[in-house]
Amino acid sequence: MESTTPLLEKKGRLEGGEDQEELCLKRRVWDESKKLWRVVAPAIFGRVVTYSMNVITQAFAGHLGDLELASISIANTVVVGFNFGLMLGMASALETLCGQAFGAKKYHMLGVYMQRSFIILFLCALALLPIYFFATPILELIGQPPDLAVMAGKATMWFIPLHFSFAFLFPLQVFLQCQLKNSINAYISFLALIVHLFVSWLFVYKLKFGFIGTVVTLNFSWWVAVFCLFAYVICGNCPLTWKGFSFDAFSGLWEFLRLSAASGVMLCLENWYYRILVLMTGMLKDAALAVDALSICMSINGWELMIPLAFFAGTGVRVANELGAGNGKGAKFATIVSVVTSIVIGLFFFVLIMVLHDKFAYIFTTSSQILEAVDNLAVLLALSILLNSVQPVLSGVAVGSGWQAEVAYVNIGSYYLIGIPLGIFLGWFFQLGVMGIWGGMIGGTAIQTLILMHMTIRCDWDKEALIASTRMEKIDPIK
């Protein structure tokens, strides 16, 4: 008994230690989840609201006529959508710098970085203006009917104020998001949605402004969001991070531009990947049915994608905060919690699509042919949703760590050198049609996801924390 008692006591202490360790881990996961959802929940709401504003504009245009609906859709998707993706991507450079500065407690630099982003994105908006001026010939060049190209070009010209709002709205949103004030973004997005509904009704139905009225409403609503966010920032609600306008914003612009350009290319390549899927499907023989079915799947995918994109934002903020604070292990833990949470949500929607594979299309149509075509694509939609639960989160890790340039090369290789050629090969040579095209492009996304997983798993997080400190010193010569 005497010889076994110490062993029993030791075993008890060991078991107790294991219980304590498990309890500590649960508490860490819970604390990290609260920090993550503080960014993610408002981001989901804000992104769904923004998506809904575009849908509302298209709905009002649709009541004016089929040509008006098609024109607004083409102008918004092809021209404005390209510039939206590029400038949103460039603004994500601010997530890296503001997130790391906030973690390092260099609070005053968040305001300076935001002003630098204003300058870079405004110059970018000026450089992109020719796309708006020459929208009609560009649309005709890519095969759009002349009457549609002319009206879409007209709509595009009226979207120029919306285009310039991107240069200020995106930096303001990231500025607040990186200091964990993302709820104000959600509130003001909701306010902009209410304004948009009212103004759309007023301009289109009451004042009878017609087609131009539908375009102007979107300009008006986005600028309401810009002015409200800016008023919130300058009226004393960010005392540590906003110290007023500063000439320091004009220093370090070259390094800031390089990171912004890499961010823009990275997200733009992702943004356009599945738009190309729709274009390629339209080139198939007897493509009308395939395009209708694919459009329904893309609409479902687009709504659900707002959740992973919110995790993209939340993960970027959390990783950047921890790296800025010099806490490499904290960044790693934040990554694990975010990826696991997003995968669980992705699995839920994967199962939901598989269970409702022959029913969810009733939201959009009662055509038996389209319903059958959507049913055939349901597996690919479910796989896309599952992959999208991982890939944007890993891209958020890349943004938080400042890996945008490396990921841009990964995107080019996996999307455009593998995914699209594979889709063409399966779609045309194997005559699998839209299923072959989409399946090939899913293969490209899967390869990209595997590469990002490899980069994340092999990452030396302590080294990344050191790099984050060096990056801020390089881009910010101000002492």
Core vs surface per residue 43-54: b (16+ CB within 10 A) or e: bbbbbbbbebbb
Number of CB atoms found within 10 A of residue 442's CB: 21
pLDDT the model gives residue 122:
95
Tokens coding 24: 């500590």
CA–CA dist 102, 110 (Å, integer): 7
331: Cβ contacts below 8 Å, ≥ 6 apart: 318, 319, 322, 323, 400, 401, 461, 464, 465
Share in percent of the chain as helix, strand, coil (round to 5): 85, 0, 15
Q: Percentage of the chain surpassing pLDDT 70?
A: 91
- Helix extents (H) in 104-200: 108-127, 129-133, 135-141, 146-158, 160-177, 182-200
User: Helix or strand or coil: residue 377?
Assistant: helix
Per-residue pLDDT tens over the stretch 16-58: 556 667 778 888 999 999 989 988 999 899 888 887 887 788 7
370: Cβ contacts below 8 Å, ≥ 6 apart: 289, 292, 293, 296, 361
Instruction: Give the chain's mean pLDDT.
Output: 85
The single-letter code of the amino acid at 416 is Y
Does 418 score more than 90 pLDDT?
A: yes
CA–CA dist 248, 79 (Å, integer): 34
Does 12 score more than 60 pLDDT?
A: no
Does 1 score more than 50 pLDDT?
A: no
Per-residue pLDDT tens over the stretch 283-300: 676 666 777 787 778 878
pLDDT band at 133 (very low <50, low <70, confident <90, very high): very high
Does 266 score more than 90 pLDDT?
A: no
pLDDT the model gives residue 475:
62
Per-residue pLDDT tens over the stretch 237-246: 999 999 989 8
